[in-house]
Chain A
Amino acid sequence: MTGPARLGYAINQWKPNFDDFTRREQHVRALKVIAACGFTGVELRAGTGRWDPLGRPASIAANYGSAAAFTDLLRQIGVEAVCSWYFDPAEPVGEELSPGRSVLEGGQHRAIAESVKPFAEFLAAAGGSRLVVRPLPSAWQTGELSADAIAIAAQGWNQVGAATAGLGVTISLHVDCLSSAADAKTLDALLEATDPALVGLTLDTAELTLAGLDPVAVYQRHRDRVDHVHLKDTRHVDEAGERQRPHAEAAMLLAGGDRGVERWFYECGTPGGLVDFPALLAALRADGYSGWLVFESDQTPNPARSVMLNGWYARHMLPGLSKDLLLS
């Protein structure tokens, strides 16, 4: 028996630096590895500039001839869809002469909504349905957010969701370990203030765990809002609150923080992994989860190895969850 969920892989792990992963043959090799391991979708990550040829629909068209040519190539390789695209509105977009935008400023909502439209159009044509967004800036930058600030952000995401809904693309809030949304009270308030028809929740197992949240508990509390899942593991919890210190992106995530952690994120099933995948997968299975399960392994020293280990995990630990498990 197999369920309706689909299996995808996030391509972000192949591009640890802005000048990595620029050539088409590198993309083809990565996509073949993804397909060989049984994944049928790929999640892209938004980026800017000539060295990010998969960062924007226009960049894909410039490098592959057209969006359709790229999706044709994907399908020839065995990847059926660009299932989702990750987008952080605060990141600069050179093509739009934007230094980055804040969802906490109401005056920038329209520009964010305009900015995501090409992504949604691309996803709709490429078999995807989720624009995975960073819902709030880093906690060390915002401090504790007021109810008014959360309400403004919620309005922004509702507006962005309304801009993509007509294309069949939902905005899905992805809570990473540094985000001010990685706090139960803030997350609950943000979800409460957003329109469930337009805005869903991406459950990222390792990011939540690292931030000190239990992803199973978050799922159980918001199961009706979870419309996308990122599966990865971690061996660490930020018990010292390093995520809230200045420049945590560099000091904690890149440099390893006070403990000198070499690698924050691991493949599912890693020895010493803290995520309770059996409990989460049982809950997803019981609910008949029908979205994408996107495996990730950012910070891996060897992308192919990580895809293969996650492929083994999917094949052996997820029976009954996805029809893709019959295809490989």
Chain B
Amino acid sequence: MGNLRWSYMDHWRADTPRGPMTQYGSRRLMDDFVKQISAVGFDGLDMFDFQIYGLTQMFGSIEKYQEYLQDHGISKIVNLFRGIMYDPRVADPHVRETHDEIVESTRQMLGMWEGLQIENLIVMPASLYADTAPVTADKVKAAAECWNRVGEASAGFGVRTTGHHEFFCAIRTEEDILRFYDWTDPRYVSFFCDTAQHCIAGIDPVALYEQLHDRCSGFHFKDTREVDTTGAFANRPDAELMAPQTARWFYEMGTEGGLVDFPRLMRALKEHEFTGWITVEHDKANIGGDYAESTALSMWYAKHVLREIYS
């Protein structure tokens, strides 16, 4: 086995006679989904943590779902993305009074996944920029305290807590990202590098990885054709789907006009001897595109361009 393994972050939609559906809607759609990602060479699957509810209904238990994945060529569920809708009244990392809720709800969620060997719990480390501004040092410090506690709890489950900085997240600038990692405990909080999100935010993801490589526990390899030049990160009520600048921020890696320098990133991974899972993501691919084609094109790029550099 080489140094790298490839996992797929699920945002899948399939066209059906009833319109676009996720694979959680039927066993037949699930069969098709798993076969398709396996066919192009994925070995692992990432998903949102709350999918455990639908999967348990469909398969009886999350362990049985992983066995089903293995029967179809996918060896494991690798990473979970923590699905919390931040609200300063209930759960918001910059609001210290809500940290107990964040820690406890995460502990409960990880307990449901305990039968598997999950590697990373990926979190957006702060709420939306628009809901947090002005972003102060104390708010970043509060978030760091929150995730230190969550990370310590997740370590008890053998899972690393790792920060994923959306371009519209309150901790989004290079300065704030770096001080967030200064203020978090390396034992408990890692860095998860989403190439497109940093690029949109005007940060070179390769340079950021170079600075944080000793904290980096994984990647979302996805591309973008746009840097946020309009202050879209602050767009209310949403930046991801509703900002005037573009209807689609994210593309599969290798896309024409893509801004992420993946070959340079792979050389950096090689230099720092990164080993483990790389997750491919292209959320919202159905906006003017198609998940199946984006998935196949991503793995074509991984096999024919990136593998030549480091594997």
CB within 8 Å of B: which residues of A? 25, 29, 32-33, 35-38, 77-78, 271, 301-305, 307-313, 315-316, 328
Contacts and interface: CB of A to CB of B under 8 A. Distances in A.
B297 A32 contact: yes
Given A36-B41, A302-B15, A308 B296 contact: yes
Interface string B65-77: 0000000110000
Contacts of B295: 304, 308
A35 B254 CA distance: 15
A37 B15 contact: no
Given A35-B304, A77-B304, A271-B28, A309 B35 contact: yes
7 contacts: A33-B297, A38-B39, A304-B293, A304-B296, A305-B36, A312-B72, A328-B41
A302 B290 contact: yes
Nearest to A303: B293
B299 interface: yes
B299 A305 contact: no
A218 B35 CA distance: 30
Interface string B32-60: 10011111110000000000000000000
B35 A302 contact: no
Contacts of B135: none
Given A77-B304, A312-B35, A328-B41, A307 B296 contact: yes
Given A302-B290, A305-B14, A305-B32, A33 B38 contact: no
Given A78-B304, A305-B36, A311-B40, A36 B73 contact: no
Given A305-B292, A312-B73, A36 B36 contact: no
B175 interface: no
B32 A37 contact: no
A301 B15 CA distance: 9
A316 B73 contact: yes
The binding surface of chain A is classed by DSSP as helix
> What's the dominant secondary structure at chain B's contact region?
helix
B155 to A, nearest CB: 37
B36 A308 contact: yes
B303 interface: yes
A26 to B, nearest CB: 11
A37 B292 contact: no
Interface in B274-300: 290, 292-293, 295-297, 299-300
Given A36-B40, A312-B39, A328-B41, A304 B290 contact: yes
A73 B14 CA distance: 31
Given A302-B15, A304-B290, A308-B40, A36 B300 contact: yes
A25 B256 contact: yes
Nearest to A309: B35
A29 to B, nearest CB: 6
A27 B73 CA distance: 29
Nearest to B41: A328
A77 B297 CA distance: 11
Nearest to A306: B292
Contacts of A37: 39-40, 296
Contacts of B41: 36, 328
Given A304-B293, A328-B41, A309 B300 contact: no
Contacts of A301: 15
A38 B40 CA distance: 8
Contact of B300 (A78, A313, A315): A78
Contacts of B35: 308-309, 312-313
Contacts of B300: 32-33, 35-36, 77-78
Contacts of B73: 312, 315-316
